[in-house]
Amino acid sequence: MLEATLDIIRLTSGESTVDVAPVARASVTEPVRLDMEDLYCILQLDPNDSVIALELANRLRARGRFDEALKVLRNVVKIDSRFETLNALAQVEYHLDMIDESLHHLQQAALIAPDDVAELFEVFKTLGNIFVRRGEFELAEDSYHKAHRLNGGADVLRVNLGTLCIQRQQWDEALDHFRGALEINIANDKAWVGLALGHRVKGDFELAWGNIEAALEYNPLNETALGLALEWSTHEGREFRALELIRAYLIEGGWNERMSLAFSWLSWRRGETVAARLELERLLTVQPDNEQALKLRAEMRNHA
C-alpha cells in the first residue's frame, strides 16, 4: 500500500536548412511564435541565448522529451541562473527521479523568487512531494502550506496533503483532503485513488471499489488504480470486472508486463482464448524470457 500511496503524488533534432540569421534577428524577443526548428537554429547561432534556450526546454518538456530538456536546461543554468531557469531544471530533474538535484535547485529557486511569481506555487508543491518521499513530513507539511497560501484552490495540492496524511496514518484528515480535491475537480483520478485507500483501510470495501472504478472512469491509464483493482479483485471475486478494466487500459494504449500477463490469464480463464493468445504473444515478443508468460503459454497448449 505504501507504493500505491506514493504513486498518488507521483530526444534529438536534425540539422536545419533554415536561414537562421533572419529568424534570430526577427524573433528573439518573441520565442513563443517560433517553431522548434527555429529555436534549435537560433541556439546554433547563439548558444548563450537563455531566453530561446528556456523556451526550447519548455517545449521539449511539454512533449515529454525530458532527457533533451535536461541537457538544454543544464547549459542554460550555467549562463543564466535566475528563478525561471532553476525552477524549470528542478521540475525536469524531479520528473526524471533525480531527487537530490531537484531539491538543490528548488531551494535555490525559492531563495531568489520574486514574491508575486506564479511559479512559486509549483516550487513549494514539488518541494513538499520530495520531502514526503524522503520521509521528512514536517518539512513536507511546511512546503505544502506555503503552496496553499499561494493557491488555495488547487486540487492537486489537496491530493498531496492527503497523501502526507496517509504517511502519518491520519486517515480521517486524508479523506477530508481527497474529498476537498474532488469538490474542486471531480475528475481528479488521484483523489479517487486516495479515497479508495482510505475507505479500504476503514473496512468499507464496496465504497473503496467504487472509488477505484471512478478513478479509472476518469483516467483508464491510471496504473496505480488499475494495480489496486487487480489486487483487490482476487480477494473479492471481481476478477472478470478487473479484466474489463485492464481491457479498457490496453485499448487506450496502456501497457506493462503485469497488466499484459493478467489480461492473458483472465481472458483465458473466461474462455476468450483468441484474445488471451494474442496478448500473450505480444508480451513474449517484448519479453521472450518471461517465465510466467512461458508457463501460461505451455498450459494453454496442453489444454488446446
**pLDDT at residue number 280:** 97
* C-alpha span between 96 and 119 (Å, rounded): 20
Helices (H), 80-222: 83-95, 99-112, 120-133, 137-150, 155-167, 171-184, 189-201, 205-218
Contact residues for 197 (Cβ-Cβ < 8 A; gap 6+): 1, 4, 5, 8, 166, 208, 228
Query: Quick one: cell of 260?
Result: 499484459
**pLDDT at residue number 1:** 62
In this structure, what CATH number is given to the domain that contains residue 51? 1.25.40.10
Q: Is residue 188 part of a domain?
A: no
* C-alpha span between 195 and 96 (Å, rounded): 27
SS3 38: helix
**pLDDT at residue number 287:** 96
**pLDDT at residue number 32:** 61
SS3 42: helix
* C-alpha span between 58 and 251 (Å, rounded): 30
Q: Is residue 275 part of a domain?
A: no
Q: Is residue 150 part of a domain?
A: no
Range of the domain at 22: 18-112
Q: Is residue 269 part of a domain?
A: no
Contact residues for 152 (Cβ-Cβ < 8 A; gap 6+): none
Model pTM score: 0.83
Q: Which of 34, 35, 53 is nearest to 43 (CA)?
A: 53
**pLDDT at residue number 115:** 81
Give the chain's residues under pLDDT 50: 11-29
**pLDDT at residue number 11:** 31
Q: Is residue 82 part of a domain?
A: yes
CA triple 55-88-108, angle to 5 deg: 135
Query: Quick one: cell of 148?
Result: 496553499
For 195-204, b/e burial (b = at least 16 CB within 10 A) is bbbbbbeeee
Q: Is residue 3 part of a domain?
A: no
The count of structural domains within the chain is: 1
Q: Is residue 238 part of a domain?
A: no
DSSP letter, residue 271: T
Answer yes or no: are the C-beta atoms of 69 and 34 closer than 8 Å: no
* C-alpha span between 94 and 126 (Å, rounded): 8
Q: Is residue 252 part of a domain?
A: no
Write out pLDDT tens, residues 60-92.
999 999 999 999 999 999 999 999 999 999 999
